Amino acid sequence: MVKLTLPYPPTVNHYWQSFTAWRAGKKIVKKTLSVKAKKFVNDVHFHVVKEKAAKRYATPVEINIGVYLPDKRKRDLDNLLKGLFDALTKARVIEDDSLIHSFSIQRLGIESPGRIELTVTPIEGE
pLDDT in tens, 21-61: 888 888 888 888 899 999 999 999 999 998 877 778 999 99
Give the number of C-alpha atoms closer than 13 A to the C-alpha of residue 44, restricted to the C-beta side. Answer: 26
User: The whole model's pTM is what?
Assistant: 0.85
Rounded-to-integer distance, Cα 43 and Cα 90, Å: 11
Helix axes 81-90, 35-50, angle to 10 degrees: 50
User: Which of 124, 87, 125 minimizes the C-alpha distance to 1?
Assistant: 124
In the predicted model, is pLDDT for residue 111 greater than 90? yes
Q: What is the pLDDT of residue 126?
A: 64
Q: What is the pLDDT of residue 96?
A: 94
The torsion angles phi and psi of 89, rounded to 5 degrees, stand at -70, -45
Q: What is the pLDDT of residue 41?
A: 94
In the predicted model, is pLDDT for residue 125 greater than 80? no
Output the domain CATH number for residue 29: 3.30.1330.70
Q: What is the pLDDT of residue 15?
A: 81
Residue 113: domain span: 2-122
**Looking at the 3D structure of the chain, how many domains does it have?**
1
